[in-house]
Amino acid sequence: MNELLKKTAAEQSKALKNKEISAVELTQAAFERIDELDEKLGTFNSLTKETALNTAKKVDEKIANGEELPLLAGIPLALKDNMNLVGSKTTASSKILENFVSPFNATITQKLLDNLVPIVGKANLDEFAMGSSNENSAFRKVRNPWNLNKVPGGSSGGSAASVAACEATLALGSDTGGSIRLPASFCGIVGMKPTYGRVSRYGLIAFASSLDQIGPFTRSVEDAANLLEVISGHDPKDSTSLNLPVEHYAAGLANDIKGKKVGVIKELISEGLTEDVSKAMEKAIETYKNLGCEIVEISLPRLKYSIGIYYILATAECSSNLARFDGVKYGYRTPDAKNLMEMYTKTRAEGFGPEVKRRIMLGTYALSSGYYDAYYKKAQQMRALVTEDFKKAFEQVDILISPTCPNTAFELGAKASDPLAMYLTDIATISANLAGIPGISIPAGFDRDGMPIGLQILAPQLQETKLFNMSYQFEQAHDYWKQLPNI
């Protein structure tokens, strides 16, 4: 493997500017790495070689002419396969969209292209981003680069695995209930979910529109701050997009954090953690103490309801969002239907996988006449109370910390037959989506089998700069983030 692929985006940018390597060579090296590993890992659904190499050529021209490079220009990036890129297949890892070719660019894709970031391919995911293990893809399962018999986490498993395995230096995922932070934790990298509305959702295939948010996967906190800066900003095409200036998130990374108050979420460290995760958590608390922070125990009394709230709201929104996949306008259509009704039912029965069907049925039930008030409306009211708990907590502390997940990556197939056990994997991550606050998972050690453990850090809405600062200081106190899997 080209040694430069192991470096962070910041180091690769430096090498490009110093002409130690060209952007085309770096992109080619990424494709060679993908060719070498993809059979084993299952990270990509499709590659976009032409687009990536054309972008890289533009970067080299700019360097040759002595022009200023945009942020992250020339750094290979993997795009989760539920984001549109003109002329590429966008499948959401579903049979129903197996041959769908994007007619337009998502806003974030356009921003990446404007910043001359080579997009190397479309990363595998749980079908329509529904899952915590990346075993629900219609095409193939993704494997964890640290242990090929284990899951990478979901739903953005392909994006996370591609960065951990150095197939791409950067990746984008979408996070509806932990789909960026969980795979980041399982794969030993940095994964960040921004404040709801910080990044445009235009051109992202919707799962649950009031929860979905696009965010970065990287191998360092600095790279995550820079990638968020590239993709953030107001977008008139997305009515939920916040009209606020984009901050230079990396500017405050080195700020001293002495005297800052770190809240430990009582409900997420008291029970259900494996011994190794519990120990890593104790070490994380110690690290913040050594950095001069004050540790405060914080209770979020209504956090325990978040899984129930989430699986009503997310499934209800998925039920209405996925109604558009009916075999009429685009996507798969059953070849043998006698009438319209049969065409709808057969297309959806053949096109959707079991987990997607399960969620559509749950959501349709929650929205149906007579049940709407009992389920959907009640869940919305409870969501407001969970958000209120966070507001109160942030009046007392600067950030909140918890394990990203109560356990490390599990064996492929271990929870496949038990949806409830699978859903509980997201116990620590879901509440941040319900409250619309930013969260990050950063490497915080390894368990006895050498599998990565993630620390989750949460901050108040729009406090991404503080979040990155507190994460960076922790990251620099250890070398966990520098470890790479031996595949």
451 domain residue, yes or no: no
Instruction: Indicate if 232 and 310 belong to the same structural domain.
Output: no
With a cut of 90, say whether residue 418 has pLDDT above it: no
Catalytic residue among 179, 200, 306, 441: 179
429 domain residue, yes or no: no
- Of the pLDDT bands very low, low, confident and very high (cuts 50, 70, 90), residue 164 is very high
415 domain residue, yes or no: no
Is there a contact between 288 and 310 (Cβ–Cβ < 8 Å)?
Answer: no
Phi, then psi, of 441 in degrees rounded to 5: -115, 130
With a cut of 80, say whether residue 60 has pLDDT above it: yes
Bridge partners, 218 (sequence order): 190
Sign of CA dihedral 256, 259, 264, 265: negative
Q: How far apart are CA 166 and CA 181, in angstroms?
A: 18
Is there a contact between 323 and 331 (Cβ–Cβ < 8 Å)?
Answer: no
- Of the pLDDT bands very low, low, confident and very high (cuts 50, 70, 90), residue 424 is confident
Q: Write down the pLDDT at residue 134.
A: 95
484 domain residue, yes or no: no
With a cut of 90, say whether residue 213 has pLDDT above it: yes
Asked if 179 is an active-site residue, the reply is yes
Instruction: Indicate if 184 and 324 belong to the same structural domain.
Output: no
Mean pLDDT of 74-99: 97
Q: How far apart are CA 386 and CA 383, in angstroms?
A: 5
Q: How far apart are CA 481 and CA 487, in angstroms?
A: 17
Asked if 80 is an active-site residue, the reply is yes
Instruction: Indicate if 231 and 324 belong to the same structural domain.
Output: no
Q: Final residue of a domain: which of 324, 343, 374?
A: 374
Instruction: Indicate if 344 and 220 belong to the same structural domain.
Output: no
CATH number at residue 20: 3.90.1300.10
Mean pLDDT of 352-359: 96
Instruction: Indicate if 335 and 236 belong to the same structural domain.
Output: no
| Contacts with 418 (C-beta within 8 Å, 6 or more apart), sequence order | none
Please provide the distance, in angstroms rounded to a whole number, between the alpha carbons at the two ends of the chain: 11
Instruction: Indicate if 198 and 344 belong to the same structural domain.
Output: no
**Domain enclosing residue 75, as ranges:** 3-257
pLDDT tens digit sequence for 282-324: 999 999 999 999 999 999 999 999 999 999 999 999 999 999 9
Computed over every residue of the chain, the mean pLDDT equals 96
Mean pLDDT of 364-374: 91
Instruction: Indicate if 144 and 206 belong to the same structural domain.
Output: yes
Q: Write down the pLDDT at residue 295.
A: 98
Q: Of 377, 381, 380, 386, which is closest to residue 437 (Cα–Cα)? A: 386
Instruction: Indicate if 242 and 309 belong to the same structural domain.
Output: no
The more confident residue out of 400 and 369 is: 400
Is there a contact between 393 and 300 (Cβ–Cβ < 8 Å)?
Answer: yes
Instruction: Indicate if 321 and 188 belong to the same structural domain.
Output: no
With a cut of 90, say whether residue 1 has pLDDT above it: no
Whether the upstream peptide bond of residue 441 has omega within 30° of 0, thus cis, is no
Report how far Cα 400 is from the mean position of its chain's Cα atoms.
19
Q: Final residue of a domain: which of 339, 374, 409?
A: 374
Catalytic residue among 13, 137, 155, 319: 155
Q: Write down the pLDDT at residue 93.
A: 98
268 domain residue, yes or no: no
Q: Of 384, 451, 404, which is closest to residue 265 (Cα–Cα)? A: 404
Catalytic residue among 62, 80, 122, 193: 80
Asked if 299 is an active-site residue, the reply is no
Q: Write down the pLDDT at residue 369.
A: 87
Count: domains in the chain: 2
Q: Write down the pLDDT at residue 275.
A: 96
- Of the pLDDT bands very low, low, confident and very high (cuts 50, 70, 90), residue 75 is very high
Question: What's the token pair of residue 455?
Answer: 């620390």
Q: Write down the pLDDT at residue 270.
A: 82
Sign of CA dihedral 390, 395, 401, 402: negative
| Contacts with 339 (C-beta within 8 Å, 6 or more apart), sequence order | none
Mean pLDDT of 398-416: 95
Report how far Cα 38 is from the mean position of its chain's Cα atoms.
20
Lowest mean pLDDT across 325-334, 396-405, 431-440: 325-334
Mean pLDDT of 77-105: 97
Beta-strand relationship, 119-123 and 77-80: parallel
312 domain residue, yes or no: yes
- Of the pLDDT bands very low, low, confident and very high (cuts 50, 70, 90), residue 376 is very high
Three-class DSSP labels, the chain: CCHHHHCCHHHHHHHHHCCCCCHHHHHHHHHHHHHHHHHHHCCEEEECHHHHHHHHHHHHHHHHCCCCCCCCCCCCEEEECCECCCCCECCCCCHHHCCCECCCCCHHHHHHHHCCCCEEEEECCCHHHCCCCCCCCCCCCCCECCECCECCCCCCHHHHHHHHCCCCCEEEEEECCCCCHHHHHHHCCEEEECCCCCECCCCECCCCCCCCEEEEEECCHHHHHHHHHHHECCCCCCCCCCCCCCCCHHHHCCCCCCCCEEEEEHHHHCCCCCHHHHHHHHHHHHHHHHCCCEEEEECCCCHHHHHHHHHHHHHHHHHHHHHHCCCCCCCCCCCCCCCHHHHHHHHHHHHCCHHHHHHHHHHHHHHCCCCCHHHHHHHHHHHHHHHHHHHHHHHHCCEEEEECCCCCCCECCCCCCCHHHHHHHHCCCHHHHHHCCCEEEEEEEECCCCCEEEEEEECCCCCHHHHHHHHHHHHHCCCHHHCCCCC
Is there a contact between 195 and 437 (Cβ–Cβ < 8 Å)?
Answer: yes
With a cut of 80, say whether residue 191 has pLDDT above it: yes
Q: Write down the pLDDT at residue 271.
A: 81
Q: Final residue of a domain: which of 331, 349, 374?
A: 374
With a cut of 90, say whether residue 13 has pLDDT above it: yes
385 domain residue, yes or no: no
Q: Of 129, 59, 61, which is closest to residue 93 (Cα–Cα)? A: 129
- Of the pLDDT bands very low, low, confident and very high (cuts 50, 70, 90), residue 417 is confident
Instruction: Indicate if 82 and 162 belong to the same structural domain.
Output: yes
Across the beta sheet with 452-458, what order do the strands follow? 44-47, 119-123, 77-80, 170-175, 213-218, 190-193, 439-446, 452-458, 399-403, 261-265, 294-298
Give per-residue burial for 277-308: e unless 16+ CB within 10 Å, then b. bbebbeebbebbeebebeeeebebebbebbbe
Instruction: Indicate if 164 and 249 belong to the same structural domain.
Output: yes
Is there a contact between 262 and 398 (Cβ–Cβ < 8 Å)?
Answer: yes
- Of the pLDDT bands very low, low, confident and very high (cuts 50, 70, 90), residue 420 is confident
Q: Write down the pLDDT at residue 421.
A: 86
Report how far Cα 97 is from the mean position of its chain's Cα atoms.
21
473 domain residue, yes or no: no
Q: How far apart are CA 56 and CA 25, in angstroms?
A: 9
Instruction: Indicate if 240 and 309 belong to the same structural domain.
Output: no
